[in-house]
Amino acid sequence: MAAGHAGKVLLIDSNVYFAKRLGDALKREGFEVISSTQASFALTALEYDMPTAILCATNMREMGALEIARIIRADTKNAALPIIALGDGSQRALMEAFQAGCDDYIDRHQTPPVIAAHVKQIIVSKAEGFQPTQMLAQSDTSLSGNLTHHDLTGVMQMLGHAHQTGALHINAGETDAVMFFDAGEISHAECGNLFGDEAVIHILKSCVNGGEGVYKFVYGGTSTQRTVLRSATDLMLDAMREFDEGTRDMADKEAL
């Protein structure tokens, strides 16, 4: 990207006032902005005026970020086009966005300048490859952080999208665990007496709401075992479903 010009963002949102404020913030970050209230406009734009990235709301009446991502990703020539979803900020919505093929998910309740800066960071990271120093200050051999500030599922998705190989160590409350990544896929996980898919689900359920805890990803760490057989997205969705079911059961018991 040329200095002073970060590229062209196609901004799709039915809230005209919000889109105007966000569009102005994106322009201050150096972007050219094309706004539309219809997600279907993106399909037309790809044919004659390819943007640098698409930033689309999830709550559109007919077609939103999730639907447009599936359509665009069906064409292999658009595989590198960053698609960023704007939604309500929930954990489930984040996972659904990644499952649909979005490159990232941003909580629309954040201020326009914060959203715009995040969009620029995503596009730079997509263009230059995974840059851990853009997230946290750390050494060249590890990526670490506090779970009160960084979402575990987001870290896992980033490692997956960047096709990283290494060991992700998690310590949160009673959870002391490790997950091994092989070219972005989780190959092995351990947590106490649990292994494989069961361990991943347990780890995710333990860290759903953040809280006290830390994680550290050590690049290059490998495991001779392969115990995780399902995709990270499937395991995340299962963990969220089990967490929701457990919360409902607890609420029902308290109501009795």
Position with higher pLDDT, 256 vs 19:
19
Q: Which pLDDT band holds residue 256 (cuts at 50, 70, 90)?
A: low
pLDDT at res. 131: 40
49 domain residue, yes or no: yes
pLDDT at res. 134: 37
100 domain residue, yes or no: yes
Residues 144 and 248 in one domain: yes
Region class of 184: left (phi > 0), else alpha (psi between -120 and 50), else beta: left
Residues 145 and 108 in one domain: no
80 domain residue, yes or no: yes
Residues 49 and 74 in one domain: yes
Residues 191 and 103 in one domain: no
Does position 180 have pLDDT exceeding 90, yes or no? yes
Residues 64 and 139 in one domain: no
Residues 161 and 139 in one domain: yes
Mean local confidence (pLDDT), 156-162 = 82
Mean local confidence (pLDDT), 101-126 = 84
Residues 83 and 149 in one domain: no
pLDDT at res. 2: 44
pLDDT at res. 220: 80
Which one of 73, 107, 129 terminates a domain?
Answer: 129
Position with higher pLDDT, 130 vs 184:
184
pLDDT at res. 5: 55
Which one of 114, 129, 144 terminates a domain?
Answer: 129
pLDDT at res. 138: 39
120 domain residue, yes or no: yes
Counted domains in the chain: 2
Residues 50 and 117 in one domain: yes
pLDDT at res. 252: 65
Q: Which pLDDT band holds residue 4 (cuts at 50, 70, 90)?
A: very low
Region class of 113: left (phi > 0), else alpha (psi between -120 and 50), else beta: alpha
pLDDT at res. 209: 61
CATH number of the domain to which 124 belongs: 3.40.50.2300
Q: Which domain holds residue 83?
A: 7-129
Q: Which pLDDT band holds residue 255 (cuts at 50, 70, 90)?
A: low
Residues 110 and 197 in one domain: no
Does position 130 have pLDDT exceeding 60, yes or no? no
Which one of 81, 104, 129 terminates a domain?
Answer: 129
